[in-house]
Amino acid sequence: MSRLAAGVASRGEIDAVMAELLSRGNAVDAVVAGVFAAAALDASVLLGPVQMLVGGAAAGLRQVDGRVRQAGAGTQRPRGVRLRDADAPALRVGVPLLPAALSSVSALAGTVSLSRTCAPAVELVKSMNKERAEVIRSIGRGGPSAFLADGIADELVVRAGRHAGGLLCREDFEALPQVENARTELLGGRQMARIKWRDDIAPIGARDGTHTEVLAACDDRGIFAIACYEVHTQGLAIEALGLVAPLVAEPVQRHVPWTPPGTPCPSAAPIALIEESGIVSWAAGVARSAAAEVELDQLIGQLETELAPLHLSSGGTGSRLVVGVTQTRTTGRAVRC
């Protein structure tokens, strides 16, 4: 691996997968492979959200929206349930866009095939859970279309569709993730890219990052990529797939305004990139903290007064982790503290 390349994840067991892809591809490949590896290790990741920033070299600054969406596309508003029944798991399963989002950014900015990117994840899980390994292998072969073509969507609809008391239907899986130019703001003469979706009504800091994990990479081409995803301890088990659907969607309740199908489910995005004179100099994020977005703002605030390219403090409480990569002209550096 080049001296300029570096990769790091809040889950240390993913580092080796990222290093392997950095030796074969670029930073985008490494981060995509890392998220799929996380999905191999934990059943709740693949059906949850992912958000990603990519920048540097000729990549521009882009943000990738793989948040879970509200289900029920093409259906009329159901009658809804009483408040006491609103916690039924099938009602709270949304539409997973993580596979489609990672496939899209891999095709747009990666350098190796999606099947090659998914291969380490398949190796990680095939001896532990054959069903989950086959799902990831199918995505590697067919991208997001595997959900419909290989029957993955059908299994999800069985467990969280109308007959199970939920809203999920095959039409929901025709939704496409957004890959768009990142929204930036000035930070002491530098451009800072943060995840700020146009449809967000909650201010930065209002979303709970307790379940959030972060991974980041930079490569010898000057490309940086950073992503966040979630690990949930509770959810609806989809035994036929070896997966767990996190309960992040809003149930339809009687006498309560309906959240329309396709609406993104709130998800913290405590990740950022800094660009100076057209060159990305660092990427960093905060994992496993309810106040992760606020803590990232505090970290970024330090950069306004400190000229170091990446200042990471080991302060904080609980299991919070700060993860980042930075690059000089001669070396790349990864930090996890």
Instruction: Specify the pairing of strand 321-327 against strand 332-336.
Output: antiparallel
Quote the radius of gyration of the chain (alpha carbons, Å).
Answer: 19
- What the block records as the tokens of 222 is 């000057």
Q: What is the helix (H) or strand (E) element at residue 102, kind and residue range?
A: helix 98-109
pLDDT digits (tens, 9 = 90+) for 261-285: 999 999 999 999 998 877 898 999 9
Which of 10-24, 182-196, 216-230, 274-288 has the lowest average pLDDT? 182-196
Contacts 24+ apart (CB under 8 A), 296-303: 296/270, 296/271, 296/272, 297/204, 297/205, 300/187, 300/192, 300/272, 303/187, 303/188, 303/274
Question: DSSP E strands: which ranges in the chain?
Answer: 6-9, 50-55, 61-66, 178-181, 184-187, 190-194, 212-218, 224-230, 235-238, 243-246, 271-276, 279-287, 321-327, 332-336
219 neighbors 237 (Cβ within 8 angstroms):
no
Indicate whether this model's pTM tops 0.95.
Answer: no
315 or 137: which carries more pLDDT confidence? 137
Query: What angle do helix axes 98-109 and 27-41 make, rounded to 10 degrees?
Result: 160
Coil, strand, or helix at residue 218? Answer: strand
Which of 4-13, 119-128, 182-191, 208-217 has the lowest average pLDDT? 182-191
Q: Please calculate the CA angle 130-134-139 and round it to the nearest 5 degrees.
A: 155
> How far does CA 174 lie from the centroid of its chain?
19
97 or 277: which carries more pLDDT confidence? 97
Provide the percentage of residues in the chain whose pLDDT is more than 70: 89
Per-residue pLDDT, 311: 47
pLDDT of 287 above 90: yes
Instruction: Break the chain down into helix, strand, coil percent, rounded to 5.
Output: 35, 25, 40
77 neighbors 252 (Cβ within 8 angstroms):
yes
195 neighbors 271 (Cβ within 8 angstroms):
yes
- Within 7-73, where are the H helices? 15-24, 27-41
- What the block records as the tokens of 221 is 């081409």
Taking every pair of Cα atoms in the chain, the longest distance, rounded to a whole number of angstroms, is 62
Question: Confidence band (pLDDT; 50, 70, 90) for 179?
Answer: confident
Query: What's the whole-number mean pLDDT along residues 131-158?
Result: 95
Query: Residue 212's beta-bridge partner residues?
Result: 230
149: left (phi over 0), alpha (psi -120 to 50) or beta: alpha
Separation of first and last alpha carbons in the chain: 23
Query: What's the whole-number mean pLDDT along residues 163-168?
Result: 88
Q: How far apart are CA 12 and CA 42, in angstroms?
A: 14
